Amino acid sequence: MAAASATQLTVNGALKMATTSQAYLEGDKVKETKSLIAELCRHFYNQGWVSGTGGSITIKVHDESVPKSEQLILMSPSGVQKERMVDEDMYIMASDGSILSAPVAKPTPHKPPKCSDCAPLFMKAYQMRNAGAVIHSHGMESCLVTMLNPLAKEFRITHMEMIKGIQGHGYYDELVVPIIENTAYERELTESLAEAIKAYPKTTAVLVRNHGIYVWGDSWISAKTQSECYHYLFDAAIKLHQLGIDWTTPAHGPIQNAKISALAPNDSIKPSRRCIVLDIEGTTTPISFVTDVLFPYARNNVGRHLDATYDSAETKQDIKLLRAQVQQDLENGVAGAVCIPADDAGKMEVIAALVANVEAMIKADRKITALKELQGHIWQTGFQNNELEGLVFDDVPAALEKWTALGIKVYIYSSGSRLAQRLLFGHTKHGDLRKFLYGFFDTTVGNKRETKSYAEITASLGVDNPSEILFVTDVYQEVTAAKAAGLDVIISIRPGNGPLPDNHRFRTVKSFSEI
């Protein structure tokens, strides 16, 4: 083992010396990337993204002989006219962000060269998402769209063709972009951007209120393409807003009063209600489906899934989350926790320990992110192979369609991962029900039995009053927490649900048709 480690160190050391040598820094690959950044900045200037010296771009030097994590980083400077930049203006940085080469100072009236103020933010995208390029735009659309709702922590849009240009999204999907608050100095945004990247594992962008947007991709082509799509969608949202049309709904149209009257006899749904948040187990779906179908499938396929996908980035991230959770469990003396050996112990040994821990977690029905993320990925394979089919109560599809027609936005909040939620509603005998759903919340917003979780959801949905949100679940403690946050609440009574406390005093329904 020691000899192997020494060899690896020698190889990495030689590679680092080769890529940081003067010959490499002056080589064709670096020169091509410098020219590309200058060209793109001129293009972005014409788009209105980097005017007034604002905005920036950084690209890794693509070299197939160098691992992506070790590739050099080129970055446009700060405070310069982006449309007049030339190749020699670029900073060259090592993979850790240290500066290897800085541009030579130009005569007055040019300012002395300065590395981009965005550098620490760019590094977060490189380190946390293995990006190949990052674009920071000050485009007007990306600024104004954060002002449409000053309290919103997310930008949401669905059923727009250009959503397909965003990595991991399709036409029917809801695109969610986190919004962080601006600061006086760009570098002060670093931690809040990192927190947003961590909280939204699917996002490829973060909006900064009253400021602009950061967009990253696997390559400069991906980053550029997605930036163009994001700006198009922001512009569309602003124009739809001006027309009085809700861009977050599949219909993209105002609801007529006559339609509301026809679909809501006896005023069974209050016009003032804007959102409905639904639990899954015991509410939209029988508890038995989760306990008798989904959980056993995940438990029985943990080893197979880990073995088949062990080297994938997705599974590596799942293993990282499980390692952290198990370490915490061992420190807290949690029953069933088994130490996971280091990677060099061998693939099979690591997988065996992971399987033991996951089986114990499933048996204890633990509501933890590490378990839910892995289960979601296992179920994804099951749904894709038609080994699983989502199950909902028969009254659910009609209710979802009715609420959507009324202009009420329906969301899901479950302890299962967002991926698992989307899979369940996307593969039912009633077809794809995601077209009626506007978003998905999981335990990344907080524990379902804690009031602060519902306060977080309220802030995300951007309603004027928490009472405009109806939360429906079968769990008494969850209803209590949601009510304490000011939400309207209903308890779902379904076959197989657990008993409720006597005199709980909450409204109950046995079917969504009663809501």
Quick count: other Cβ atoms within 10 Å of Cβ 405? 16
Rounding to the nearest 10 degrees, give the CA dihedral for residues 75, 79, 80, 82. 60
**Helices 190-199 + 119-129 axis angle, to 10:** 20
> What residue numbers does the annotated binding site cover?
118, 136, 138, 211, 279, 281, 414-415, 448, 474
> What residue numbers does the annotated binding site for substrate cover?
118, 414-415, 448
The DSSP annotation for 176-239 comes to EEEEE---SSGGGGHHHHHHHHHH-TT-SEEEETTTEEEEEESSHHHHHHHHHHHHHHHHHHHH
- Considering only CA atoms, which of 70, 87, 104 is closest in space to residue 26? 87
| 174: enclosing H helix or E strand | strand 174-180
Q: Is 195 a catalytic residue?
A: no
26, 161, 188, 314: the active-site residue = 161
Residue with tokens 């409720």: 500
**Calpha distance 268→275 (Å, rounded):** 15
In the three-class reduction of DSSP (H, G, I as helix; E, B as strand; rest coil), residue 28 is classed as helix
Which residues does 25 contact at the CB level (< 8 Å), separation at least 6?
A: 72, 92, 100, 101
**Calpha distance 323→358 (Å, rounded):** 11
Cβ atoms 94, 100 nearer than 8 A:
yes
**Calpha distance 289→292 (Å, rounded):** 5
> What residue numbers does the annotated binding site for Mg(2+) cover?
279, 281, 474
Which residues does 9 contact at the CB level (< 8 Å), separation at least 6?
A: none
Which residues does 230 contact at the CB level (< 8 Å), separation at least 6?
A: 142, 166, 177, 205, 213, 215
**C-alpha separations of 144 from 9, 149, 179, 198, 402 in Å:** 49, 10, 12, 25, 32
Catalytic positions, please?
A: 161
